[in-house]
Structure 1
Amino acid sequence: MSEKSFQDLAHDDDRLVEKRISGEGVYDGIFLKMKRDTVSLPDGQHALREYLEHPGAVAILAVLDDGRILLERQYRYPISQAVIEIPAGKLNVGEDPLLCAQRELQEETGYTAKRWSKIRRIHPVISYSTEFIDIYLAEGLIPGPARLDEEEFLDVFAAPLEELLEWVESGKITDVKTIISTYWLERRRCASSNS
């Protein structure tokens, strides 16, 4: 068997596609919906696929003028622990992701930003969820009062990139959006110092 390049394989997605035959809603929650579909596999066999329908979210890599990164520490019920992560929040139906990022940064940390740029979109749990997270870089930060939601409790603090890298490497930070953002910022700073 000869090895194919990615370009060869990318033009042949039809041999991988699973086609939906039927489906049902299993659970309809506040913002998550559980679905169960019967699909036809590429070889003609049938299989069940269960997945969560998620409205999408944003995350904000907010960098202070001194280079430190704004972080939050909050309790995440599904894993029963307080975690360190960058500010983030879910999209409302039809909401523009950049406007959501601006709203979430201000609500959770009190900061607004003069400059915004999109870093990338990630799919954190592709095996069982439609969730995507658009990550934004926020710079030129201006402090102000936070306006947390009624059911939201968190600590806001700032740390240098070197500390974030250490926390990622040691496993103190396990949140995927924060890990990706930390490595992205390190790569960006390395590229800037080499030019």
Structure 2
Amino acid sequence: MTSTRTTLYEGRYLKLQSRNGWEFVVRRHGVAVIVAWTPDDELLLVEQYREPIAGRIIELPAGLVGDEPGHEHEDILDAAARELEEETGWRPGKLTEIMQCPTSAGMSDETVLFVLAEKLVKVGRGGGDDTEDIVVHRVRRSIIDQWLDQHRAHGLAIDPKIYAALYWTLKT
């Protein structure tokens, strides 16, 4: 097999490439996904509209690494801290890398790094930057399953990375 890639399209954040007859998306930057439990044992989740699914989704706080002017060479843990505070209003005192994994290996080279945020301090309102409309949810560990089921029943998409984070949390 040949390893030559052909670029079919290139946008600001993504490239569509082809190799060996397989089309796939290449992401320019890494992605940090933050697993953050408040001091009251609540998981921080965000709800926002996502254009590709034309609807709202419940997700873990997350963000691209190096996607903002002045942050092009930012460390992934610094990006995780920045995104957590921007999206939720909580600042982590400690960040630990959990695991890195592909999001959709049949369609993209994108990998995400799950980061555990600990020693959280509430410092703001959250809600994202001027281009985002983020609703912050604080969900108690004891009701997380029912809470997710209820929101799915009301038509919201649930990001499966939440379940990966819950599995990891219960395992440790």
TM-score by length of 2: 0.84
Q: Which of 113, 121, 134 is the aligned partner of 1:154?
A: 134
Where has structure 1 moved over 3 Å in runs of 4 or more?
A: 166-171
Inter-partner Cα distance in structure 2 for 1:97 and 1:76: 23
Inter-partner Cα distance in structure 1 for 2:45 and 2:87: 10
Deviation at residue 134 of structure 1 after TM alignment: 0.4
Structure with more relative contact order (C-alpha pairs < 8 Å, separation 6 or more): 2
Partner in structure 2 of residue 104 of structure 1: 83
Correspondences of 1:17-32 after superposition (within 5 Å): 18-20=1-3, 22-32=4-14
Do the aligned residues in 2 keep the contact of 1:121 with 1:135 (CA within 8 Å)?
yes
Inter-partner Cα distance in structure 2 for 1:61 and 1:140: 12
Correspondences of 1:67-82 after superposition (within 5 Å): 67-82=41-56
Deviation at residue 149 of structure 1 after TM alignment: 2.2
The Cα RMSD (Å) is 2.0
Inter-partner Cα distance in structure 2 for 1:112 and 1:101: 10
Q: Which of 49, 56, 65 is the aligned partner of 2:30?
A: 56
Inter-partner Cα distance in structure 2 for 1:89 and 1:69: 17
Q: How many residues align?
A: 161
Q: Which runs of 5+ in 2 are unaligned?
A: 67-71
Deviation at residue 167 of structure 1 after TM alignment: 4.8
- Given residue 49 of structure 1, which amino acid in structure 2 is its aligned partner? W
Deviation at residue 168 of structure 1 after TM alignment: 5.4
TM-score by length of 1: 0.75
Q: Which of 29, 50, 74 is the aligned partner of 1:95?
A: 74
Change (3 A) 1:36 1:49: same
- Given residue 64 of structure 2, which amino acid in structure 1 is its aligned partner? K
Q: Does 1:182 align with 2:156?
A: no
